[in-house]
Amino acid sequence: MNKNTKRVLGVVAAATLVAGSIAITSAQAAVKSVTLVYQGPLTGTDAQTGQDELLGAQTAVQIYNDSNPAVTVKLITADDQGDGAVAGTVAPGIAQNKNVIGVVGPAYSGASIASFPSYKAGRLTMVSPSATRVTLTDPKSADNGYPFFHRVVGNDALQGPAVVRWSTDGVSSPKVYVIDDQTPYGTGLADAANAYIKLKKITKVGSDSVVQKTSDYTATVSKIKASKANVVIYTGYYPDGGALAKALNDSGWVGTFAGGDGVLNDAFIDVAGKAAAEGVKFTAPAVPFETAASDAQQAAFTKATKLKSAAGHVYVTETFNATNVFLTCIKQGKYSRAGIQACVATGTFYGLDGKTVLRFTRFGEVVGGAPVGGFQVVKGVIKYFGAV
């Protein structure tokens, strides 16, 4: 090959490189909007949880879009009803929607497990505000979402001990009865609670496993009363937890009823009734939005949701944080699924207060865990008591 040929090829190569750079720059400049999806239960018996969480995502996107970015964000929703069977039919469509670059969710553990095959195949990043089952980030489990699943909350290895501590706090000679609802979340939290009960040598007088949507809790109530339990820990979700609390109260049982974050919801009070709900305790790796948000964030919440306050709505802060992880990456020019995944996996993010640092381990767990809060119904209102 002579020098002239080399010179011509060099010029062509340089021109190609420049043209390629222009093409890439133009493609990036052509991006005017990207899409995030919130996935959770928006209809069905668990709808209140999803509707509450959606408020946090809407607020975060409102703040971002109000900053007049070059690339705006569209937020769409995917209703999985908190049910793994439904999530398994919803997730494929989300994964195939090329406009979607990230999933805020799934909200529930069972729905997460059912969604993983589609999202892994679609290389679609998830940041959940509330899915807490330990196996979701366990590399040894078949249920793990690696490398695309992340969560901004601590898992049930932290919440299990917390719900035991909070439920037995102030109880003289606690005798504990643990009930799960046979869901991936419920059994996982029950396992963590039972392990802590054994570790601390707390008296456990019984346990039960009752399928969701049970219409009659008579048999379970009879077992609890026969056991002489003065503390009942329920590790399912609020529709069934409320029904069980009501059945216990109607039977004349006296003691402390407690549940994890699946039971924490204002709708629990509606299901249980005010008499049965009074004094009930809950735990959740959550901080109420109205106690943590700045005036500007509160104003954005109202603008986005048309609600005056987030009081009574759960996981708003955590969903705001999960959404903001994606928004931070978008601000950095990450508009593709691959770019989002790399950013979420390696980036540093900040919570609602602007101070709490959020980073993820290799398997999607929030580094350092997250505090678990204690809540209780006091005079018909759920009050937050801080970390427990």
End-of-domain residue from the set 237, 268, 284: 284
Confidence of residue 31 (pLDDT cuts 50, 70, 90): confident
**So what's the pLDDT on residue 21?**
38
Q: What is the CATH number of the domain that holds 195?
A: 3.40.50.2300
176 near 167, Cβ under 8 Å?
A: yes
Is the pLDDT score of 385 beyond 80?
Answer: yes
**So what's the pLDDT on residue 27?**
46
Is the pLDDT score of 42 beyond 90?
Answer: yes
50 near 41, Cβ under 8 Å?
A: yes
Confidence of residue 16 (pLDDT cuts 50, 70, 90): very low
Residue 299 and residue 186 in one domain: no
Residue 52 and residue 146 in one domain: yes
Residue 244 and residue 265 in one domain: yes
Instruction: Fill in the DSSP letter of residue 135.
Output: G
Confidence of residue 29 (pLDDT cuts 50, 70, 90): low
Residue 146 and residue 218 in one domain: no
Amino acid identity at 344: V
The pTM of the full predicted model, rounded to 2 decimals, is: 0.90
What's the pLDDT tens digit per position in 81-101? Answer: 999 999 999 999 999 999 999
Residue 383 lies in a domain: no
129 near 315, Cβ under 8 Å?
A: yes
Structure tokens at 86: 């439904």
What's the pLDDT tens digit per position in 137-171? Answer: 999 999 999 999 999 999 999 999 999 999 999 99
Amino acid identity at 80: D
Complete DSSP assignment for 273-309? -HHHHTT-EEEES---HHHH--HHHHHHHHHHHS-S-
107 near 41, Cβ under 8 Å?
A: yes
Cis-peptide into 147, omega within 30 deg = yes
- Locus of tokens 């928006």: 42
Instruction: Fill in the DSSP letter of residue 83.
Output: -
Residue 106 and residue 173 in one domain: no
CA pseudo-torsion sign 342, 348, 353, 354: negative
Residue 178 and residue 215 in one domain: yes
Return the C-alpha torsion angle 338, 341, 342, 348, nearest 10. 150
Compute the mean pLDDT over every residue in the chain, rounded to the nearest whole number. Answer: 93
- In angstroms, the CA 62 to CA 366 distance is 25
- Locus of tokens 């909200």: 107
Is the pLDDT score of 314 beyond 80?
Answer: yes
Range of the domain at 83: 33-154+288-358
Higher pLDDT, 371 or 237: 237
CA angle 227, 155, 209 (to 5 degrees): 30
Residue 161 and residue 254 in one domain: yes
Structure tokens at 113: 């497990």
Taking residues 2-21, report their average pLDDT. 37
Amino acid identity at 342: A
Residue 324 lies in a domain: yes
Residue 279 and residue 175 in one domain: yes
Query: How do strand 349-350 and strand 357-358 relate by DSSP bridges?
Result: antiparallel
Residue 272's SS3 state is helix
Confidence of residue 369 (pLDDT cuts 50, 70, 90): confident
Number of domains in the chain: 2
Residue 278 and residue 203 in one domain: yes
